[in-house]
Structure 1
C-alpha cells in the first residue's frame, strides 16, 4: 500500500475523502497518495494568506527575508 501524505493548509496538516494518486512518471507506479483540498480548505488558505499579508506588509524587509530562511 502506498504511503498517504496529508497536505498543509492554513497552518495545519489536513486530508479529505477525495484521494489523489501520486504516480512515478517513468513507470506509472503509484508512489503515494494525498487528497484534493475541499472548498473549505481553499477558503481557509485564502483567509490565512490575507491575514499573513496584513502582518508582513508592515514588517521591515530584513525581517521578511529572515522569515523565508
Structure 2
C-alpha cells in the first residue's frame, strides 16, 4: 500500500470515528432510554470495527515495509 493511500484510508477511518461520535452525542437527545442504549451500543461496535481496520492498515504498512 502506498503511503498516500494509507494516509487517505486512515483519514477516512478517522472521519468515520468522528461521525460515530456525533451519532452517539445525537442519540442522547432521544426520549426513550432503550433507544439511547441501542444507538450507543451500535456506535460502540462500529467504533471497535474502525479501530480494528486502522490496525490492519498499520500491519499492512509494516509488512510492506
Could you say which structure has the higher helix fraction?
2
Fold shared by both chains (TM-score > 0.5): no
Higher RCO (C-alpha under 8 Å, 6+ residues apart): 2
- The structure having more radius of gyration, on CA atoms, is 1
Q: Please classify the TM superposition score into its range, dividing by the shorter chain length.
A: 0.3 to 0.5
Q: TM-score, normalising length from structure 1?
A: 0.36
* Bigger strand fraction: 1
